[in-house]
Amino acid sequence: MQAKRMGRQSCRLPSRPRVQAFASTAGKKEGEGPLRETFDVVVKDDTLGEKSWEKAEKRMLADTVTLCLNKAGVREEDVDLFLGGDLLNQIVSASFAARGLQIPFLGLYGACSTMAESLLLGAALLDGGFGSRAVCATCSHFSTAERQYRFPLELGNQRPPSAQWTVTGAGATLLTAKPDFPIAVESFTVGRVVDFGQTDENNMGAAMAPAAADTLLAHLKDSGRPLEYYDRIVTGDLGQVGYALMRELCEKEGLALGDRYTDCGCDIFSPEQGLLAGGSGCGCSAVTLNGHLLRMMEKGQIRRLLFMATGALLSPTTTLQGESIPGIAHAVSLEVV
C-alpha cells in the first residue's frame, strides 16, 4: 500500500478513479467572458430568483450537483460521498446544498483551493475502496463574497488594479471507481500553508503565488517528473499579479513555465470586461475545470493536466488583527487514459 506514496506531499492513485461527469453553472458576467461556450448553464440573473444572494449561491451549487448527476444518469442514492465547501462563513452554501441532496457529506474549507481539495480527497477515498462514486463540488458568488469579505455592495467603492473579481459560479465533478471513462485522476499533492508576509487583502494573487510555486515544486520533486510531462499546468485564481509572480518564483528555481502554464483567474474574463487583475473565488477554478479544461481533455486537446487550485487562508478578522495572508495550493493530476 505504501507504494502509493510518491514523496513527502504526493500520492499516486493506482486504481485511477475516473471522471464520470462534470457540470458548471456561471453567472452573467462570466457568461459574457471568453469561456462562455464551455459552461452548461449561464444564469441570466445572479439572484436565480431567490430572495438573497446567499440563497442564490446555495441554489446554484445544489442545481449544479444535480445537473452533474443527471448528465451521468446517476441517482443521489447511488453516490456515496459529497465532498464540498465554499467561501461563506461556516460553508453554508455547501452544507445547505447537502441538506437537500441527502448524500453523506464531508464539509471542506480550503478557500479557493476547495475544488482541488475535494477532488483529491474524493479520488483518494474511491481509490482506498471507501465508495463507488463521489461528487466533488464548490461555488462562489460575487455578491455574497464581496459583502462578507470587503464592503457592502451598495457602497460601490473603488478597487486597486491588483484586486480580483469573485467569480459567480459553481462546478461539480462526479468521480467513479469504475474504469469505464477516459479521464482519470492519476495522482495528487497536498499543499502546505505558505506565508511570505503579504498583508494586502486587495492582492490575493501575490499571497497565493508562493503556495502555488511550493506545491508545483513539491509535485515535480515527489513524482520525479519534468515540467514537460504535463500538457497543461493550471493554477486556480492567481490573476494577473499572482500569475506573473508565479512565473518569477518558478524561474528562480530554474523552472521556465512557458506556454503550458495558464491561470483560471486570467482566462475567465477578457481584458475588455475591465475586471482588473482577473477572477477569483472557489467558483473560478471550479467552472474553468468543469467547463473549459475537462472539455479540452474530452476532445484530447489536453492529455495530461496538473490542476492546482489556490487558496488565501485569511479572514476579515485576521486582517484587522494585523496578520499576513497565508496561502495554500493543492495539485491534482488528471490524465486521458
Rounded to a whole number of angstroms, the minimum distance from the CB of residue 272 to a copy of itself is: 33
Q: Which parts of 120-179 interact with a copy of itself (CB under 8 A)?
A: 121, 124-125, 127-132, 148, 177
Cell digits of residue 122: 474524493
Alpha-carbon Rg for the chain in angstroms: 18
Binding of residue 46 to a copy of itself (CB under 8 A): no
Binding of residue 313 to a copy of itself (CB under 8 A): yes
Our CB check for a copy of itself shows the closer of 177 and 302 to be: 177
Our CB check for a copy of itself shows the closer of 273 and 318 to be: 318
Rounded to a whole number of angstroms, the minimum distance from the CB of residue 12 to a copy of itself is: 10
Q: Which residue in 26, 91, 139, 175 binds a copy of itself (CB under 8 A)? A: 91
Our CB check for a copy of itself shows the closer of 40 and 117 to be: 117
Q: Which residue in 23, 111, 308, 331 binds a copy of itself (CB under 8 A)? A: 111
C-alpha–C-alpha distance, residues 245 and 226, integer Å = 21
Residue corresponding to grid cell 500569475: 243
Interaxial angle between packed helices 204-223 and 239-252, expressed in degrees from 0 to 180 and rounded to the nearest 10: 40
- DSSP label of 270: -
Do residues 116 and 6 make contact, with C-beta atoms less than 8 angstroms apart?
no
Strand (E) or helix (H) holding 248? helix 239-252
Rounded to a whole number of angstroms, the minimum distance from the CB of residue 70 to a copy of itself is: 20
Question: Up-side HSE of residue 94: CA atoms within 13 Å toward CB?
Answer: 31
Do residues 332 and 230 make contact, with C-beta atoms less than 8 angstroms apart?
no
Do residues 4 and 12 make contact, with C-beta atoms less than 8 angstroms apart?
yes
**Residues in touch with a copy of itself (CB under 8 A):** 1-5, 8-9, 11, 15, 51-52, 54-55, 77, 80-81, 85, 88-92, 95-96, 98-99, 102-111, 117, 121, 124-125, 127-132, 148, 177, 190-195, 313-318, 321, 323, 326, 328
